[in-house]
Amino acid sequence: MKKCIIIGASSGIGREIARLLIDDGWQLGIAARRREKLMETQQLAPDRVSIREIDVTDSSAAESLNYLINSVGGMNLFIYSAGIGWQNRELEEEKELATVQTNATGFARMTGEAYRYMARNGGGQIACISSIAGTMGLGPAPAYSATKAMQQTYLEALQQQANQRRLNIQITDIRPGFVDTDLLGHAHYPMMMKVADAARLTLTAIKKRKPAATIDWRWRLLTRAWKMIPKCIWRKMKIS
Ligand SMILES: NC(=O)c1ccc[n+]([C@@H]2O[C@H](COP(=O)([O-])OP(=O)(O)OC[C@H]3O[C@@H](n4cnc5c(N)ncnc54)[C@H](OP(=O)(O)O)[C@@H]3O)[C@@H](O)[C@H]2O)c1
C-alpha cells in the first residue's frame, strides 16, 4: 500500500515531497490552507491526488484529516510539513503565539490523530519536518526553536510508546538546516539547500525508516559540534 497524507503540502518541502511521491506512484492526500496551490499539485495526477483545505490551528482539523484519509482509502505514511516561523527578537506576541499554535498545538493535534488512526489500523509511518533549530535554544527565534524542540521530544515519546504498545508504527524526525522556501522569504542564508535536494534527502531518510535525520551532511556536522558547546558558553554566544 502506497498511501500518504501530507499536511503542509501547498508549498516548499511538503509540496516537493508530494511531487516526488506522485512520480513514485503513490496515492496522496494533501492539505494546507491554500486550496489553489494544492490544486496545482493535484493537476499532476488527478486520479491519485485528493486535496483538502485544512488549517491545523482549527479545532476541526483532526476531523478533516479523517475525511482526507477516507478520500484516499487509507494511510500508511503521514508527513507533517506544516510550519511557520520568524526571527522575532522583539518577541512580538502575535508571532510567538501563532508559531506555538501551528508548530506545537497543530502538530500535536494532527500527529496525534494520525497516530491513533495507525494504532487502530495495523500501523504505518509518521514523519515530521522539525528543524535543526529544535536542537538548541536560538535567541533570534525563541518560539520557533522551542516548538521544534517540542516536536522532536514528542516524536521520541511517540516512538517509545508505540514500541511499548507493540504497535507497528515507525516515527521519523526530519531536521533540515536552511532550505530555500517561502518560510525564509527566499533570502540568502548560509549553507542554504535547494528545496528539491532537501525533499529528496527527506524521502531517502523516510524510506530508510530512520528515527531522526539531519539534512544535509553539513548541518549534521554543525549540529553535532554545537551540541558539544557547554551551555554556559552557548547562553553567551551571539547567534545571528
Ligand atoms: N525552510 C527552511 O529553512 C526550513 C528549515 C528547517 C525546517 N523547516 C520546516 O519545514 C516545514 C515546511 O516549511 P517550508 O520551509 O517548506 O516552508 P513553506 O514553503 O512556507 O511551507 C509551509 C507549509 O505549511 C503550511 N501551513 C502553514 N500554516 C498552516 C496551517 N495553519 N494549517 C495548515 N497548513 C499550514 C503552508 O500552507 P498554507 O499557507 O497554504 O496553509 C505550507 O504548505 C516547516 O515545519 C518548517 O519549520 C524549514
CA distances from 138 to 28, 133, 141, 177 (A): 35, 7, 6, 13
**Pocket test residue of 19, 30, 56, 81 for ligand 1, highest count of atoms within 8 A of CB:** 81
Report residue 140's pLDDT band, with 50, 70 and 90 as the boundaries.
Answer: very high
Report residue 239's pLDDT band, with 50, 70 and 90 as the boundaries.
Answer: confident
Taking the centre of ligand 1 as the mean of its atom positions, its distance from the CA of residue 41, in whole angstroms, is 16
Pairs from 50-57 (Cβ < 8 Å, separation ≥ 24): 54/7, 56/7, 56/8, 56/82, 56/102, 56/105, 56/106, 56/107, 56/109, 56/110, 57/98, 57/101, 57/102, 57/105, 57/106
Name beta bridge partners: 129: 174
Taking the centre of ligand 1 as the mean of its atom positions, its distance from the CA of residue 54, in whole angstroms, is 13
156 contacts: CB under 8 Å, gap ≥ 6: 171, 173, 211
Q: All 3 cell numbers of residue 132?
A: 535543526
Q: Ligand 1: which residue has its CA nearest to atom 19?
A: 12
- Residues lining ligand 1, Cβ inside 6 A: 8-14, 32-34, 37, 54-57, 81-85, 102, 106, 129, 131, 176, 178-179, 181-184
Q: Identify whether the C-beta of residue 170 lies closer than 8 Å to the C-beta of residue 212.
A: no
Taking the centre of ligand 1 as the mean of its atom positions, its distance from the CA of residue 82, in whole angstroms, is 4
pLDDT for 240: 76
Span 190-217, average pLDDT: 97
- The whole-angstrom separation of Cα 135 and Cα 145 is 8
**Pocket test residue of 5, 13, 188 for ligand 1, highest count of atoms within 8 A of CB:** 13
Does the domain at 3-234 match CATH 3.40.50.720? Answer given as yes
CA 237 to chain centre: 28
Q: Phi/psi of residue 109, each to 5°?
A: -60, -50
- The whole-angstrom separation of Cα 133 and Cα 177 is 8
pLDDT digits (tens, 9 = 90+) for 41-97: 999 999 999 999 999 999 999 999 999 999 999 999 999 999 999 999 999 999 999
Q: Phi/psi of residue 163, each to 5°?
A: -65, -45
Q: Ligand 1: which residue has its CA nearest to atom 46?
A: 83
DSSP structural state of residue 194: P
Span 167-186, average pLDDT: 96
Sign of CA pseudo-dihedral 238, 156, 200, 74: negative
Span 153-177, average pLDDT: 98
Report residue 186's pLDDT band, with 50, 70 and 90 as the boundaries.
Answer: confident
pLDDT for 1: 77
